[in-house]
Amino acid sequence: MKPDVPNKMIEAMFSAVGIFKTFDRTKALADANLDLLGGEIHGLLGANGAGKSTLSKVISGHVIPDEGQLIYRGQPLVLRSTRDALNNGIAIVMQETSLVPDLTVAENIFLPELGQKGRLSYSSLYKRGEALLATLGQQGELPLDIEVRRLSAAQRQLVEIAKALGVQAKLIIFDEPTASLSPSEVDRLFDIMTRLRDNGNALVFVSHRLEEVFEITDRVTVMREGRTVLASHPTDTLSQSELIRTMVGHDLASIYSRPHALKATSEPIALDVKGLEALPMVRSVSFSVQEGEILGLGGLVGAGRSEAAEAIFGLRPRNAGTISISGKVVDPKKPADAIKAGMGFVAEDRRTQNIVPHLSVKENLLLAHLGAHKGFGLGYASRDKQVASLLESLGLPADRLLDANMLNFSGGMQQKIIIARWLLLEPRVLILDEPTKGVDIGTRSSIYSLLRDIAAKGVAVVVISSDFEELLGLSDRIVVISDGYSVADLPSALLDKEKLTLLAAPRTSMARNTAMLTELAKE
């Protein structure tokens, strides 16, 4: 696929041509292209995992590509580090900010200069800081002498932007900049971005929020599965449904065309969640799962799915809502309570939330048992038979495995062991957050069949996944969570990728969404 710049008269300020990047066995980028002009805001779009973030990181020097070329102002550019990128005037404003919380605003803005020789003149730092804020139209909005730790998310972002200007950045990437902002803060950000554009900078706007893309960008590039599928298309000639269609990859079927017939189900409800609220991420989430059912929790990254699961499991305080297991109301204040009630939870981040690195595989496997065990000793022996048969059914070699270090094994193997940890306790409800994250394709399918087996034994399985295809293939029913609300609850037979994408989009404006639904229905 060749990048086609519609207006050949204007020389591109920056081009990324044919970028490839593979992490382990996952192809993150396969022929990604991007062209940027000076004085434009360029939307970079794509579904979860399309490669937007990786491409942003390639351009900002965080990730070194396997193949492909970067061209900056007509010259080939090789970036070995973020410092290289900064020196060339390329900066990125990320969600997780790169600020030093205990230094002041002024020190943070000019952090790249602290490494230089010579004495630091604070009065000149303040003067230049004010000047930078003035170019952003934010003079006096931000005290320069207070520590960054005390700032709000929006203010920190402003510091990041000022920092980018402090190194004379001409190309600034905004990675999901509106995710944690209120509507008025978004307006202010867009005002700043417009000013930067009018000063001749090239801005990249990475976002899931289509309304915002239409509001602020001049052109858009759409990525799908690591590839650029729509290059530098003028935004105002696109419709929202065209954009979604490009992101998803095939034509949209009408959302109302399929009958809403649900398969009659009579299994008892295993887990029922009503009006769950755990601020700030979870606002109102309700769903229920039957015994033997696999329920998918879908939505975009940051929609509040993981937080909802953690709140249900007692890892996060809840503000409101009721949780019942098999009809009995439970109120887990800590994971031990949830486990006692019959829940198990495989958290998203294996390394930080699941694996105990200094303990052997066997002890990792028996960790939940240890928590539930009542005696003074270990009670490991009482589980020996169960462990042996469990490992056999998982296809794991017990003799080679049990004494080894957990970290020596592949992601898929680790994940199976963590799932087995909960199976030992025979839970009624098992919640899994991104169970195939970092798992190679071969092991993925065996995890899917494992989850189906678990469900077939009558366990209610809840799977959180950002991979819509996985969600559709695995679950019987899908609940979509968007901006902290559960917005849809449909059998997955009635859903497909584009409908999920549509439902998952943050609904900043209900009216616009209804309009979009009607428009889709007409097609």
Partner 1 sequence: MTQPSQPISADRALLNITRRLEFRMVLLALILAIALSFLSPYFLTKNNLFNVLDQSVVIGIVAVGMTFVILTGGIDLSVGSVAGLTGVILGLAVQHFPLPIAILFAVGGGAGVGLVSGFLIAYFGLASFVVTLGMMAIGRSLAYIFSGQTAISNIPSAMSSLVYTNIGGIPSNVLFLGVLYLLAWGYLTYTKGGRTIYAIGSNKEAARAAGLNVFFYSVLPYVISGALAAVAITFSIAQILSADPLAGNAMELDAIAAVVIGGASLFGGRGSILGTLIGVLIMVMIRNGLNLMGISPFWQGSAIGSIIIIALLVESIVSRRVAR
Which residues lie near partner 1 (CB under 8 A)? 313, 315, 334-336, 338-340, 345, 347, 352-359, 363, 367-368, 370-373, 375-379, 397, 399-400, 409-410, 412-413, 421
For residues 271 and 366, which CB has a smaller minimum distance to partner 1 in the complex? 366
d(CA 121, CA 221): 43
Whose tokens are 């998310």? That residue is: 153
Least distance between partner 1 and beta carbon 360 (Å): 11
β-strands 67-72, 75-77: how paired? antiparallel
For residues 140 and 397, which CB has a smaller minimum distance to partner 1 in the complex? 397
For residues 159 and 462, which CB has a smaller minimum distance to partner 1 in the complex? 462
Least distance between partner 1 and beta carbon 400 (Å): 5
For residues 398 and 517, which CB has a smaller minimum distance to partner 1 in the complex? 398
For residues 279 and 372, which CB has a smaller minimum distance to partner 1 in the complex? 372
For residues 285 and 339, which CB has a smaller minimum distance to partner 1 in the complex? 339
d(CA 100, CA 102): 6
Least distance between partner 1 and beta carbon 363 (Å): 6
d(CA 451, CA 413): 14
Least distance between partner 1 and beta carbon 3 (Å): 39
**Count of CB atoms situated within 10 Å of the CB of 456:** 11
Residue 412 near residue 442 (C-beta atoms within 8 A): yes
Contacts of 303 (CB under 8 A, 6+ apart): 481, 482, 483, 484, 504, 506
List C-alpha distances in Å: 129 to 40, 112, 120, 132, 358. Answer: 25, 14, 14, 5, 47
For residues 15 and 354, which CB has a smaller minimum distance to partner 1 in the complex? 354
For residues 175 and 310, which CB has a smaller minimum distance to partner 1 in the complex? 310
For residues 156 and 362, which CB has a smaller minimum distance to partner 1 in the complex? 362
Q: What are phi and psi of 51, to 5 degrees?
A: 110, 10
462 three-class SS: strand
Residue 310 near residue 334 (C-beta atoms within 8 A): no
Of 10, 15, 112, whose CA–CA distance to 55 is shortest? 15
Strand order in the sheet with 485-491: 328-330, 320-325, 269-278, 282-290, 485-491, 477-482, 294-298, 460-464, 429-433, 343-346
Least distance between partner 1 and beta carbon 333 (Å): 12
Least distance between partner 1 and beta carbon 353 (Å): 5
Q: What are phi and psi of 9, to 5 degrees?
A: -70, -40
Least distance between partner 1 and beta carbon 426 (Å): 14
Least distance between partner 1 and beta carbon 386 (Å): 17
Q: How many residues comprise the chain?
A: 523
Least distance between partner 1 and beta carbon 397 (Å): 5
